[in-house]
Amino acid sequence: MCGIVGYIGGREAADFLMDGLTKLEYRGYDSAGIAVYHDGAIAVRKKKGRLVNLAEEVKVHPVVGTIGIGHTRWATHGGPSDLNAHPHTDEAGNFAIVHNGIIENYMELKEELLEKGYRFKSETDSEVVAHLCADMYDGDFTRTVQRVLARLRGSYSLVFMSRFEPDKIICSKKDNPLIIGLGEGENYIASDIPAILSYTRKTYIMNDGEIAIVKKDNVWVTDLEGNPISKKVFEVNWDAEAAEKGGYEHFMLKEIYEQPKAIKDTMGSRVSEDGSHVQFEELNWTTEDVTSIGKIMITACGTAYHAGLLAKYFIEKLARIPVEVDIASEYRYRNPLTDSKTLCIVISQSGETIDTLAALKEAKRLGARSLAITNVVGSSISREADQVAYTWAGPEIAVASTKAYTTQLVTLLLLALYMGRLNGTLTADEESRILHDLTAVPDLCRKIFECADEIKAMCSSFEGREDVFFIGRSMDYGLAMEGALKLKEISYIHAESYAGGELKHGTLSLIEEGVPVIALATQKDVEEKMISNIKEVKARDAYVIGVVQEGDTEVRKTVDTLITVPASDNFVVPIMAIIPLQLLSYYIAVSRGNDVDKPRNLAKSVTVE
């Protein structure tokens, strides 16, 4: 997820571009750049690192002109560097583009362009778009953009400039946000509203499949074939702080609601076009690569550790390879039994978690192969690991992880399916069936959001309570651990998670009248056992909130209230079932007046032991 800006009008474009990027720096911050047209040429300035580096570059090497585009980057393809920073141009500098999203078929397009003699400067997927513009240009900039967009597969917000037609900027979107700010004798483009609030509150909100031709005095919007579309002006009435959060009260809530898109982006090109199988081009493993694995060691911290616990179920059931899961801070101090037949999977949102990085180095010292699951391209863990599978969650601002966790689960489930097929333990029909349910998750998640008010109303059950318990079996136990962590880290309520079968081994002594118990019962193969556990806590007068799949008829008979999630495959449903727990934790924390985005004593990335 990146920040995009564009300007055309009568003032110096660089001034708006730099100011707009400053307002959007929270969306991406590993590099930034601007491109400005003046006197027959497009001048580009871009620098790795925070926006201050670009500001210094522009100060030393200023650009003048009244039309330009800008970008602040969150790396996906290619690590942070000056060359990988946007904007990208073709070799002749006739076209400049900025891009937010993932071009899934970029490698296919790049190979085609290389055969034609085009030379690439960066490692990004985005650069292919600039070269495609050059390759397909027929004397009409708008028509060229239409033809380029028809070649692209994936998600994007794209903004185009051409020195051949410097009176316009063209933009389009698919699955990524884009707006147009309407001014007097000037117009603006941005990926989000904060960039333009100081200049105008009149906007067009772009929809998927629309193209806007933006001039200083006019804006035309068409479909991909050029048919005119009538747009209504949206008047922004948010203040600047609310706009930065997309109108949500907190970044955490915004990021909870961003999960459908993040999940879709993470699946991306890893699912074949026909939806039948997983393809991990970045790993490119053979059958021998998988069959040679004696065991898998997963190590991580906090929320990422909880994702690892579910990955154990995914991999052992689908790929039939033994898996250990260890807290990273414990792994290297227990003289672990790790060798050359071990695959060490480390999971870290930031890629900078110091304990996880140390565990990775220890596993490599002991001879293990290593695979990192991380959200940050070019991070320390991504550089240290032998291979990397990135999650495409985009920047996560709130300390409490939400979309990073669900995208980790998606990546790990895809990995388990991939390994199962290569290992011969998973049939093609089984893989296709699970993928069918997995690819439906982004749309199904939205059904959960429709029940947000009902979840919010459950907060009253937690008033005056300082203890809450989560119980579950099988994959629901790992989910219970993450649910408890979310609640305690932002609400400051003491929350514990227990395997349902452990209740009678001591935990039942903690249950008393009115104590809230959240009982996860989404796994059909252990539902009967969970019902017995629910009855045990109900017999001690607990207040029980059940979490079940739609269509459940039995659990609802034993609980006080119910949260339902869309029915899906047992492997897929945990990805959705965490969302109502995130929402419940959020609303409870808000009701207690807590700083949800910055809970006390916690930091987003733990870089000290």
With H, G, I as helix, E, B as strand and everything else as coil, classify residue 74: coil
**For 373, phi and psi rounded to 5 degrees?**
-110, 110
Helix (H) / strand (E) element for 171: namely strand 169-174
With 60 as the cut, is the pLDDT of residue 605 above it?
Answer: no
Tens digits of residue pLDDT in 83-97: 999 999 999 999 999
With 60 as the cut, is the pLDDT of residue 606 above it?
Answer: no
Convert 245-282 into a string of H (helix), E (strand) and C (coil): CCCCCCHHHHHHHCHHHHHHHHHHHHECCCCCCECCCC
CB 300 within 8 A of CB 481: no
Strand 295-300 relative to strand 323-327: parallel, antiparallel, unpaired? Answer: parallel
Q: What is the mean pLDDT of the chain?
A: 92
- Cα atoms in the 13 Å half-sphere on the side-chain side of 535: 9
**Encoded tokens for 275:** 């939806």
| Alpha carbon distance 373, 387 (integer Å) | 9
Query: pLDDT-derived band of residue 27, with 50, 70 and 90 as boundaries?
Result: low
Lowest mean pLDDT among 147-151, 498-502, 503-507, 575-579: 503-507
Please tell me the predicted confidence (pLDDT) of residue 236. 83
With 70 as the cut, is the pLDDT of residue 2 above it?
Answer: yes
Report the candidate in 507, 523, 504 with the shortest Cα–Cα distance to residue 515: 507
What DSSP letter does each residue of 588-599 carry, written as one string?
HHHHTT--SSS-
Average confidence (pLDDT) over 16-29: 82
| Alpha carbon distance 609, 528 (integer Å) | 42
Residue 48 neighbours by CB distance under 10 Å: 19
With 70 as the cut, is the pLDDT of residue 557 above it?
Answer: yes
CB 243 within 8 A of CB 235: no
With 70 as the cut, is the pLDDT of residue 149 above it?
Answer: yes
Report the candidate in 153, 64, 74, 172 with the shortest Cα–Cα distance to residue 109: 153
With 50 as the cut, is the pLDDT of residue 518 above it?
Answer: yes
Please tell me the predicted confidence (pLDDT) of residue 608. 43
- Residue for token pair 């990422």: 304
Helix (H) / strand (E) element for 305: namely helix 302-318
Does the annotation count 2 as an active-site position?
yes
With 90 as the cut, is the pLDDT of residue 10 above it?
Answer: yes
Tens digits of residue pLDDT in 339-362: 999 999 999 998 888 899 999 999
Q: Is the peptide bond before 87 cis (omega within 30 degrees of 0)?
A: yes
| Alpha carbon distance 160, 98 (integer Å) | 7
- Residue for token pair 């296709």: 432
With 90 as the cut, is the pLDDT of residue 505 above it?
Answer: no
With 70 as the cut, is the pLDDT of residue 1 above it?
Answer: no
CB 579 within 8 A of CB 547: no
Nearest-Å Rg of the Cα atoms of the chain is 25
Identified catalytic residue from 364, 529, 538, 604: 604
Report the candidate in 34, 111, 116 with the shortest Cα–Cα distance to residue 68: 34
CB 85 within 8 A of CB 32: yes
Identified catalytic residue from 2, 133, 171, 301: 2
Q: Give the list of residues 6+ apart from residue 81 with CB closer than 8 angstroms, or none.
A: 31, 48, 122
Tens digits of residue pLDDT in 161-202: 999 999 999 999 988 889 999 999 999 999 888 899 889 999
Does the annotation count 459 as an active-site position?
no
**For 213, phi and psi rounded to 5 degrees?**
-105, 110
With H, G, I as helix, E, B as strand and everything else as coil, classify residue 80: coil
Tens digits of residue pLDDT in 113-141: 999 999 999 999 999 999 999 999 999 99
**Encoded tokens for 231:** 């747009």
Query: pLDDT-derived band of residue 78, with 50, 70 and 90 as boundaries?
Result: confident
- Ramachandran region, residue 551 (left: φ > 0; alpha: ψ -120 to 50; beta: rest): left
**Encoded tokens for 287:** 């059958």
Q: Where are the beta strands (DSSP E) in 349-466?
A: 369-374, 387-390
| Alpha carbon distance 216, 8 (integer Å) | 5
Above pLDDT 70, what percent of the chain? 97
| Alpha carbon distance 549, 178 (integer Å) | 35
- Residue for token pair 């104590």: 515
